[in-house]
């Protein structure tokens, strides 16, 4: 799913903030609501003593869905926040991005 990339990171009193389009926010919240339901479903499976392999399959699907949210955020972050900061001369943004990517890849 391609989302409109009208996001940018603003600076408010040294506190960076992301500004996503309403379309992007709605999509992310919808995905997170679905993931929240998946988590509740996994909890129910465990409470019902569901076969481990079936629970693990659901956990895998939920992890993939959460990674999808992270990918959307990372793409928007790179295309707007990071580009804006580098254009403003803030080259620390690249180091911060590399740390973020390393955190995502640990999973």
User: Where do the domains of the chain lie?
Assistant: 20-105
| Structure tokens that stand for 97 in this block | 């991005």
Please state which CATH class domain 20-105 belongs to: mainly alpha
What does the alpha-carbon distance between residue 19 and residue 7 come to, in Å, rounded to a whole number?
5
pLDDT given for residue 12 in this prediction: 45
- Close Cβ partners of 32 (under 8 Å, ≥ 6 residues apart): 69
Nearest one of 39, 43, 46 to 62, comparing CA atoms = 39
Rounded to two decimals, what is the model's pTM?
A: 0.79
Lowest average pLDDT, out of 1-5, 19-23, 77-81, 84-88, goes to 1-5
Cβ pair 78, 97 in contact under 8 A: yes
pLDDT given for residue 56 in this prediction: 98
What's the rounded mean pLDDT across residues 37-59? 98
Does residue 18 surpass a pLDDT of 70?
Answer: yes
Half-sphere CA count of 5, side-chain side, radius 13 A: 13
Which tens digit of pLDDT belongs to each residue from 69-88?
999 999 999 998 899 999 99
């Amino acid at each position: 799913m391609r989302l409109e990339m009208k996001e940018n990171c603003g600076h408010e009193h040294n506190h960076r903030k992301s500004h996503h389009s309403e379309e992007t926010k709605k999509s992310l919240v919808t995905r997170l609501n679905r993931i929240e339901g998946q988590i509740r479903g996994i909890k129910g499976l465990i409470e019902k003593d569901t076969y481990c392999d079936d629970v693990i399959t659901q956990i895998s699907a939920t992890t993939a869905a959460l990674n999808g949210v992270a990918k959307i955020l990372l793409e928007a972050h790179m295309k707007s926040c990071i580009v804006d900061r580098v254009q403003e001369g803030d080259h620390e943004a690249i180091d911060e991005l590399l740390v973020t990517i390393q955190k995502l890849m640990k999973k």
